[in-house]
Amino acid sequence: MTDQFSSIQEQARKQRARYKFFFLLTRVLLLAGLVLLRFLQMQASLKPTSLNSILVFVVYF
């Protein structure tokens, strides 16, 4: 019975690590996208108000 319990714990640990990895990957990709948008804003003179809403969304989540 303890072998089954430790196996379940190990599976849960692996799943948490996988979720944490994907969460961090999502954060990094959102940050990279934000940096790219800021760069494009400087190059193309986009309206800053449209990018500010994206910034608020990224910071909030």
Assessment of whether the complete model's pTM goes beyond 0.85: no
Confidence of residue 16 (pLDDT cuts 50, 70, 90): very high
Q: E-assigned strands of the chain?
A: none
Q: Which amino acid is at 2?
A: T
Contact indicator for 48, 41 with CB cutoff of 8 Å:
yes
Angle between helix 2-44 and 48-60 (nearest 10): 170
Structure confidence by residue, pLDDT tens digits, 18-55: 999 999 999 888 888 888 877 777 776 656 666 666 66
Asked whether residue 14 carries a pLDDT value surpassing 70, the answer given is: yes
